[in-house]
Amino acid sequence: MFLQDIDVIDVDLCVQQPEKFIAHTRASADLSAVTPYLNAMFRTAAYNHDDRSIRFTSDRVEYTIIREQVNIAKFANRTELHELLDWFKDLVNDIYDSRGEMTPMYECRKPVPVFFIYNLLPKTNCRMCGEKSCMVFAALLNKLEADIDACPPLSEPKYAENRHKLEVAFA
């Protein structure tokens, strides 16, 4: 197995969300072997090819990897941290085992800007998407944590052109 263990070195309180935590961990392997593949998988990842570091978000949890160092940001408790570590370990090992069938990506993509997205939304703050405002929904789309289909008004004929522009931007 490529990644055998991840040891938790330290846990801090999150400054922005004091009810959440950030873990500093050390992997048993140099993860720069898999970061170009993580970059290919996670469209909003920030990847640096000079040191092969990466930061990506999955299910609103942020992972930052620099070789053996892995920081995991914004989890609620120790149980969740252990679930996240298991998920992360499986992800890394699956990628490592399948890397012959995958295409790595060595460039950092540009995310679709939040205001570009916001300007194409209906801007009614109707909350049908489950978020408290169109701006919040735009921020989630920017991080690929929401889907265009979650905004029902965008399917109305009067927003067809806006919806098409969004679909092109996220294609």
d(CA 95, CA 111): 23
Among 10-18, 70-78, 81-89, 119-127, which window interacts with ligand SF4 (CB under 6 A)? 119-127
Answer for the pair 128, 134: CB distance below 8 angstroms, yes or no: no
Q: What is the DSSP pairing of strand 6-13 with strand 21-27?
A: antiparallel
Name the minimum Å distance from CB 149 to ligand SF4.
10
| Helices and strands of the chain, counted as H and E runs | 5, 6
Nearer to ligand SF4, 22 or 134 (CB): 134
The residue from 131, 139, 143, 145 that contacts ligand SF4 (CB under 6 A) is 131
122 lines the binding site for ligand SF4 (CB under 6 A): yes
Q: Give the shortest CB-57-to-ligand SF4 separation in angstroms.
A: 20
Q: Are 53 and 72 in contact (CB under 8 A)?
A: no
Among 2, 56, 63, 137, which residue interacts with ligand SF4 (rule: CB under 6 A)? Answer: 137
- Least separation in angstroms between CB 154 and ligand SF4: 6
DSSP letter, residue 112: P
Angle at 113 between CA 19 and CA 66, to 5 degrees: 55
Which residues sit at the interface with ligand SF4, rule CB under 6 A? 121-122, 124-129, 131, 134, 137, 151, 153
